[in-house]
Amino acid sequence: MKILIVRLSALGDIVHALPVLAAIKKAMPDAQVDWLVEENYTAILALASGLHRRVIVRAKASGETPEAISFTSGGGYWRAARYLRAQRYDLALDLQGLLKSAVWARMSGAKRVIGFDRAYLREELAASFYSESVVPDDSGHVMRKNLSILSALQITPPSPELRLQPVATPAMVKSIQAAGGSNGYVVINPGAAWPNKRWPPDRFGALAKALRDRTGLHSLVTWGPQERALADAVSQASGGAATPAPPTSVSDLAALMQSAALAISGDTGPLHIAAAVGTPIVGLFGPTRPERNGPWEPRDEVLSRSETCVCHHKRQCLRGAPCINEIAVDQVIAAAERRLRSGRA
């Protein structure tokens, strides 16, 4: 059985799709599973167990290794389509529900092209490219929705299972040891692609100071492209209780999260990586719903203003004052202390 999973982006969404890979390999150990992904988000798949090959589009350069093959934009798209068709997939599973992902699934030439029912797609026209559709379980976490597609393979959707295998670089190991190592440290992630998912940096700084004073734990502040100034602002507001983490690859970030006593973040990729490696979490939510996108460990703490938010799943606040700002520092401190006390598996 040769299967193509299509989930092109983004980081957190790919993490939430990974249980589908784990479930397929558990039910069909001999299945060959490839994953079609855009280059900006391929690094997380390098940590996944059970994947045969990453097929990477929108790459900066074409290339091939045993684990991945890359295609640039423009003419590279046609070469990617020819490559996919040559694989003779039995199934293509579109877990994204966009027109572009459905087109890729169809262009793969798979015998069966499977996606979600039109009513559950972000772009309804995508349904025109499927040979079969599945009415998903959309009642809870998005991982349950993703796993619903397995019913088309006669696989009963299981509980979510993730298999990430991060390996830290020597520089990250040194940073982990300096932050507290086995004695513990907190990871703070203040950034997010959506402005209305970001809690103010001065509050993160006050939080880090309170946690150091109350628990003795130092905080490392993670940052992505164009976010170093944000990490510096958190550090400056913390009175020395938090320092910026070194630049991180996705594997470094996963290793940093895996060793942490606690991770505190808004709804963004690093939060979902922390959940995938079993890190205790305090999640801060504004325009997105934690029951759908949040951590799935019952002991994790979530502080949310989604019930009163008027801009659900919109990148910009419609009120001029993001509802996530209504979450007070004292509330996050209390949630962090509760989560630290409840421990980890």
pLDDT > 80? residue 72: yes
pLDDT value at position 40? 95
pLDDT tens readout for residues 16-44: 999 999 999 999 999 999 999 999 999 99
Range scoring the smallest mean pLDDT among 55-59, 108-112, 294-298: 294-298
pLDDT tens readout for residues 226-270: 999 999 999 999 999 999 999 999 999 999 999 999 999 999 999
pLDDT > 80? residue 310: no
What is the spatial distance between Cα 22 and Cα 48, in angstroms, rounded to a whole number?
Answer: 9
* Tokens 């808004």 found at: 266
CB contact burial 20-35 (16+ within 10 A = b; e otherwise): bbbbbbeeeeebebbb
* β-sheet bridge partners, residue 282: 264, 301
* β-sheet bridge partners, residue 72: 59
pLDDT value at position 173? 84
* β-sheet bridge partners, residue 69: 55, 64
Q: How many H-runs (helices) and E-runs (strands) does the chain carry?
A: 11, 14
pLDDT tens readout for residues 149-178: 999 999 999 999 887 888 888 888 888 888
Residue 90 phi/psi, 5-degree rounding, is -80, -35
pLDDT > 70? residue 182: no
DSSP character string of 189-257: E---SSGGGPPPHHHHHHHHHHHHHHH---EEE---TT-HHHHHHHHHHTTTSEEEPPP--HHHHHHHH
pLDDT tens readout for residues 268-279: 999 999 999 999
